[in-house]
Structure 1
């Protein structure tokens, strides 16, 4: 009798920007100080980076 290999579902993560669920093996990640942030592609990473840069810039009072 031939043993069949068990099919294992890939680990799924959500994109930090669009929340699209993607396999961990396909995700782009950025390591922050205490956590890892995942993106479905470079477009979402760029959106996040621009949003993050805007939040860190000082405001004029």
Structure 2
């Protein structure tokens, strides 16, 4: 008798910037105080960081 093996899909998360679905094991993350933000790569992380810096500087005015 041949046993069928179940294929287990890896847990996926969405990139915070481009919303691309990526396996959790390959995602880069940044831990904030109440949440974790995931990125598919350094380019998206840099975009997010620059956008966050712009938001901070505009709220300081």
- Classify the TM-score, shorter chain: 0.7 to 0.9
SS in 2 for 1:38: strand
How far is the alpha carbon of 1:7 from its aligned partner? 1.6
Corresponding pairs, count? 59
The two structures have a TM-score, normalised by structure 2, of 0.86
Q: How does 1:36-51 map onto structure 2 within 5 Å?
A: 36-51=36-51
Partner of 1:12: 12
Separation of aligned partners in 2, 1:6 and 1:31: 33
Separation of aligned partners in 1, 2:51 and 2:35: 18
Higher helix proportion, which one?
2
- Measured on the aligned residues, the alpha-carbon RMSD in Å equals 1.2
Partner of 1:25: 25
Separation of aligned partners in 1, 2:16 and 2:4: 37
The two structures have a TM-score, normalised by structure 1, of 0.86
